[in-house]
Amino acid sequence: MGVDKKLLFGVDDSDFSRQALARAGDLQRNNPNLKITIFHGDSDANFSFMAKILKLSPDELEKHQRLWSLEEKNILQKAKEALTESGFDSKRVTTFFDQGCNDPSESMMKLAGSQGFETVAVARWGAKTLSRQIIGSVTCRLVNMADIPALWIMDPRIRSHDVLVTLVGASISQRVMEYTLQYFAHLKESRFTFFHVIPAPPPQIWNYGSIRDKDSFEEQQEKIRRWVEEKTDKVTQIADEGRQRLIKAGIPEQNIAIKLKPQKQGIARDILKELETGNYGIILMGRKGSKKIREFQLGSKANKLLYTAHTLITCILNDTY
């Protein structure tokens, strides 16, 4: 028996949101340890203003309030039906309606913290997202809340169930590998790729201007070799551990690959190229890489990937949880 896991999925009254939830259900229906709580929050309509304009009696106002509440709760019912129709066990589904919710992202964060949800999930877009926006406003706020242990940004147009696990050489890579095993090792027919872009050596390593003769050139090459080895050893160990544990979980060995590639266009762009050419539908990445700059809630590489990569599930993970 595995450890129970809980996912909090926020929905609104949009087909895109329900489709994203259904894809999450399809993805996790064979993960028996996962339970999903569907969240919907909505602010109260301005009933006092409505009563004044329409000259409603107290009884009529109460009737309108009841109808409003029922309509909002119906959003959850439609979402639950979409989830169970995907094949996800209804016994592992609960709902939560937050009436009077002014900020769904804040409410979801509070609920996740109080009830021990490790993962929060939302659709990339919501009912009120303008066509020119890359992600919805609620999704954007959640992305920038650094306290979330794991956040899924769901696009129901997901290409496949193949998984790209990005490793960066920092401590977050161990967390990314562990999370992959906990939430995706049940996908027995999926391809798993542990992917690392080897960054370009800094100038102090490849300063060829200091080369005077053959010996100094060979010394420079040895410095580069040692630097690359130092940067890739830990990643290789983590990837190999993940590979062995996926095999133990029942993933065919031929479906698992470890790719370490030198940086070409840039780390984020090289990952994007691998995403496109590999036809992956799921990407896991750390919120921040080795450069943990406090002023930024999301690392630069994760930010580029989030706003550029589409038609897939993006899983953003924090180092600690």
Domains of the chain: 1-156 (3.40.50.620), 158-321 (3.40.50.620)
* Helix ranges (DSSP H) in the chain: 15-28, 47-54, 58-85, 104-115, 137-143, 172-184, 214-248, 267-278, 300-308
Q: What is the pLDDT of residues 30-84, one digit of tens each?
A: 999 999 999 998 765 555 555 555 555 666 556 555 655 667 788 999 999 999 9
- Give residues with Cβ within 8 angstroms of 12, minimum separation 6: 40, 75, 104, 126, 127, 128
Residue 138: per-residue pLDDT = 86
Phi, psi of 171 (to 5 degrees): -65, -25
| Strand partners for 165 | 194, 284
Token pair 């999925």 in the structure block, residue: 9
Residue 254: per-residue pLDDT = 97
User: What is the Cα–Cα distance from 312 to 321, expressed in whole angstroms?
Assistant: 24
User: What is the Cα–Cα distance from 150 to 163, expressed in whole angstroms?
Assistant: 16
Output the six-digit token pair for 129: 């997202």
Which residue, among 314, 226, 321, has the nearest Cα to 23 in the 3D structure? Answer: 314
Residue 203: per-residue pLDDT = 66
Token pair 């050139």 in the structure block, residue: 217
DSSP 136: -
C-alpha gyration radius of the chain: 23
User: What is the Cα–Cα distance from 197 to 283, expressed in whole angstroms?
Assistant: 15
Residue 290: per-residue pLDDT = 46
Residue 84: per-residue pLDDT = 97
Whole-model pTM: value is 0.83
Nearest-5° Cα angle at 166, 165 to 167: 115
User: What is the Cα–Cα distance from 7 to 121, expressed in whole angstroms?
Assistant: 7
Residue 190: per-residue pLDDT = 97
Regions of the chain where pLDDT drops below 50: 1, 132, 290-297
DSSP 90-130: GGGEEEEEEET-S-HHHHHHHHHHHHT-SEEEEESS-TT--
Residue 140: per-residue pLDDT = 85
Nearest-5° Cα angle at 116, 113 to 122: 70
Structural element, H or E, at residue 155: none
